Chain A
């Protein structure tokens, strides 16, 4: 007699394309495989839709049919090892980079990285920004030792392609995608402003390096020293304050505010 464990294993094999489990049957046993297809379709469709919820722009860029095919391959290689679909699919960008047919679409993995970062930002924990006056007061007191704590949703992606502009071009009413002449590497800031506004914004590379350094726990002065040429501190502050991304500030070694 098939144990429940053996049954589950054979069921899973059947979902992945094997024959239905030996104990599966129907009033008309000849229909068993056809009926079992409902489970095969439900699993494939459900996971494909879950992946599309993380990667709507990739789906739009590839088209529905192509996306479904790619999703099938991805599910095969990286089946969910979690009951949380909101946490499944991080490997998709690296997976796309390996697909031979897409070698000419070099921006595709970068767009996928943006979309995964957006999903993470959407679900990241909540944190209130420091009021501007309070921030100013702490900055004056801390001087060179000012340390800023950023919203947990903040992510900076440095990419060799203009994937941020391509992502923006796929939004309703978005500007056209960059032309070959406008093709350039991009640094993209992804973060959640408030509860549901996930921003996806190309920023100058030095500002990206500055924000990354702050996120690593560097002081403002240290972060500034690591940015390289063309860094504008005011522009960086404005970007962070405007999007409510500074959630704490103190003098390094002091009490967090």
Chain B
């Protein structure tokens, strides 16, 4: 069971009527797991309906895989319930942490890349995969600071996690661009070092730009169109490894459904352009 190698969209409840009426040509919808952990009502009714027509990706944002605390048992159980109920084609989470000492900050916080954190993350992923009885995908983060005790490059850290746990990777191209610009690195060098064969899904999203004395600071805002340099990187990746399930994320200042579909169509033209190129 895998996601189709087509464009998908992050599901927003306000778009449900448009989706139910027009049955848009999309490979899948992705939902944030934590928004579907109520007992009943409209969220589950909509998801049930979506599930009938589309492949579904469940994307967790609250497990704190990169945190020092043990994984929250109740939350693991809720994720299992959700995955058992909807049998999604994919489950993914983040290389990030969100909670400490029982308090959740509800943001995807960065971690130093060390042997200590590598062991923690791998233990957490092993536990999660065992608990869910399925393989998960881990997403690369967008970051704004570095840590002077990080002694493993992010690409190597992800490679090693995937090797030790067997998890797949979710490549967020916008996060690559945001992090690399923020840390004055070359995104193409990052992608050259990325274990491309492990990628099972791609994320595309928009970012905001601020100005620091040393140059731009990009913020992963999910509140606008995908930026041109990110589309360019996406095209290069697809041309290297072929079509992959590709999600447009737009979580803030959510526009009309047609605006999201236009972004999905752009992803489709790149994916299909590549299928044709590979076929010919």
CB within 8 Å of B: which residues of A? 1-5, 7-9, 11-12, 15, 20-21, 23-28, 30-32, 34-36, 38-39, 42-43, 46-47, 50, 79-86, 122-126, 152, 192, 195-196
Q: With A39-B107, A83-B72, A83-B99 in contact, is A122–B42 under 8 Å at CB?
A: yes
Does B97 lie at the interface of the complex (its beta carbon under 8 Å from any beta carbon of A)?
yes
B145 touches A35 (CB 8 A): yes
CB within 8 Å of A: which residues of B? 34-35, 37-45, 62-64, 67-69, 72, 75, 78, 97-107, 109, 111-112, 114, 116-117, 120, 144-149, 182-184, 212-214, 217, 219
Q: With A12-B101, A15-B105 in contact, is A125–B112 under 8 Å at CB?
A: no
Docked pose: A176 CA to B35 CA in angstroms:
34
A46 touches B34 (CB 8 A): no
Docked pose: A125 CA to B44 CA in angstroms:
10
A126 touches B149 (CB 8 A): no
List of B residues within 8 angstroms of A79 by Cβ: 103-105
A9 touches B101 (CB 8 A): yes
Docked pose: A196 CA to B43 CA in angstroms:
9
A84 touches B62 (CB 8 A): yes
Q: With A4-B120, A9-B100, A12-B100 in contact, is A35–B212 under 8 Å at CB?
A: yes
List of A residues within 8 angstroms of B116 by Cβ: 3-4
B212 touches A86 (CB 8 A): no
Docked pose: A100 CA to B105 CA in angstroms:
27
List of B residues within 8 angstroms of A27 by Cβ: 146, 183-184, 214
16 CB contacts below 8 A, A to B, read A4-B112, A8-B67, A11-B100, A15-B105, A21-B147, A23-B112, A27-B214, A35-B144, A46-B107, A47-B106, A83-B63, A83-B72, A83-B98, A123-B39, A123-B40, A123-B41
B213 touches A122 (CB 8 A): no
A25 touches B68 (CB 8 A): no
User: B112's contact among A7, A50, A83, A196, by CB below 8 Å, is which?
Assistant: A7
Q: How far is the CB of B74 from chain A (nearest CB, A)?
A: 9
The 3 closest A-B pairs by CB, nearest first: A123-B38, A83-B62, A125-B39
A26 touches B146 (CB 8 A): yes
Docked pose: A142 CA to B80 CA in angstroms:
42
Docked pose: A11 CA to B219 CA in angstroms:
19
A8 touches B97 (CB 8 A): yes
Docked pose: A30 CA to B102 CA in angstroms:
32
B38 touches A122 (CB 8 A): yes
A196 touches B38 (CB 8 A): no
